[in-house]
C-alpha cells in the first residue's frame, strides 16, 4: 500500500504509507491523484497529507529518474501538483523527519504546513545532476526568490525552524504531538467555518500561485525533459546514486 485514505466529517486524510521513507513513486502519485478525485463536489473542509514512519518522504524515487522513465513519470507528478493546487478545500501537509525533493514539492503545493521539530526540508536534486521543476516555481513564491535560490542551488536540507522563520511553516511541535496538533489546528481554525466559504477562499488564495504554475511549469518541465535529460551528467548523477558512489561529473 502506498497511500492510505481516511475520511471523516469535514476531513480527508491521505497518508503516505510505503517502505524506504515513503519515496514518491509513480504508483504513489497515481494513488494520490485518484484519492483527490473524491474531493470534487464534496463538502470537505480540510485535506491533509500525512505519513507513516519517522519521515514524511525521502523524495521522488531515483529508480524512476531515468531518461527512459521520466518523460512519463514527470508529467504525471506535475499533474498531481496542479491538482493539489485546485483542491476545493484547505490543504495541509503534516511533516515529520525528512521532507525532501518531490515530497517537499508536495508540501509546497499545500496551503499550510504543520511540522515536527525534528523535520528537515529541502530540494537536493542538484546532488544527482538535476533540478526540481515544481519546486523551482513554488518555493520562490512562498519564501522569496533569494532564499529559494540559495536552497535550490545548494541542495541543502534545512531545519524546520529556518523554514518557520521564512514564513513557510505554520506550527512546529514535538514529533509525538504533530498529529494531535494538526487535529487541534483543524478544530480551532476550520471546523466551525462554512465548507462552502472555505472552498472558495482556498481557491481564491491560490490564484497567484496557480497563474505562475500554469505559465511556468510547462517551461520548467520542457527544460528538464528536453534539455537536462540529454546531458551526460544527468545520467551520471542517477547512476552514481544507485551505485552508492561519488558522481564523476564531465560537465556535459
Write down all domains in the chain, each with its CATH number in brackets.
1-176+193-252 (3.90.226.10)
With bands split at pLDDT 50, 70 and 90, how would you rate the model's confidence at 222? Answer: very high
Q: Using an 8 Å Cβ cutoff, are 49 and 110 in contact? A: yes
Mean pLDDT of the residues in the chain = 95
For residues 151 and 115, give the distance between their C-alpha atoms in angstroms, rounded to a whole number: 19
The arithmetic mean of pLDDT across residues 10-36, rounded, is 94
pLDDT value for 67: 87
pLDDT value for 106: 98
pLDDT value for 35: 93
pLDDT at 6 over 90: no
Q: What percent of the chain has pLDDT over 90?
A: 92
Q: Using an 8 Å Cβ cutoff, are 226 and 133 in contact? A: no
pLDDT at 1 over 70: no
Which one from 6, 50, 83, 105 is the annotated catalytic residue? 105
pLDDT in tens, 84-132: 999 999 999 999 999 999 999 999 999 999 999 999 999 999 999 999 9
Which one from 64, 125, 236, 243 is the annotated catalytic residue? 125
Q: Using an 8 Å Cβ cutoff, are 72 and 222 in contact? A: no
125 is catalytic: yes
For residues 103 and 76, give the distance between their C-alpha atoms in angstroms, rounded to a whole number: 14
The arithmetic mean of pLDDT across residues 34-55, rounded, is 90
Higher-pLDDT residue of 31 and 2 is 31
64 is catalytic: no
Is residue 143 helix, strand or coil?
helix
Amino acid at each position: 500500500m502506498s497511500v492510505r485514505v481516511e475520511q471523516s466529517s469535514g476531513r480527508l486524510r491521505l497518508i503516505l504509507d510505503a517502505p524506504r521513507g515513503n519515496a514518491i513513486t509513480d504508483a504513489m502519485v497515481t494513488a494520490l491523484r485518484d484519492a483527490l478525485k473524491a474531493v470534487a463536489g464534496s463538502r470537505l473542509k480540510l485535506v491533509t497529507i500525512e505519513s507513516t514512519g519517522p519521515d514524511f518522504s525521502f523524495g521522488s524515487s531515483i529508480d524512476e529518474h531515468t531518461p527512459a522513465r521520466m518523460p512519463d513519470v514527470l508529467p504525471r507528478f506535475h499533474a498531481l501538483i496542479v491538482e493539489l493546487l485546485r483542491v476545493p478545500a484547505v490543504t495541509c501537509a503534516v511533516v515529520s523527519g525528512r521532507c525532501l525533493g518531490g515530497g517537499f514539492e508536495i508540501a509546497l503545493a499545500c496551503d499550510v504546513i504543520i511540522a515536527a521539530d525534528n523535520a528537515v526540508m529541502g530540494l537536493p536534486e542538484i546532488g544527482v545532476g538535476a533540478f526540481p521543476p515544481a519546486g523551482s516555481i513554488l518555493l520562490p513564491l512562498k519564501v522569496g526568490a533569494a532564499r529559494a535560490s540559495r536552497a535550490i542551488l545548494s541542495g541543502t536540507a534545512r531545519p524546520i525552524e529556518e523554514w518557520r522563520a521564512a514564513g513557510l511553516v505554520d506550527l512546529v511541535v514535538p514529533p509525538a504531538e504533530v498529529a494531535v496538533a494538526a487535529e487541534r489546528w483543524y478544530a480551532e481554525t476550520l471546523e466551525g467555518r462554512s465548507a462552502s466559504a472555505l472552498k472558495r477562499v482556498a481557491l481564491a488564495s491560490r490564484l497567484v500561485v496557480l497563474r505562475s504554475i500554469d505559465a511556468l511549469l510547462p517551461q520548467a518541465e520542457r527544460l528538464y525533459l528536453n534539455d537536462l535529460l540529454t546531458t551526460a551528467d544527468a545520467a551520471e548523477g542517477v547512476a552514481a546514486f544507485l551505485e552508492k558512489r561519488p558522481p564523476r561529473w564531465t560537465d556535459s
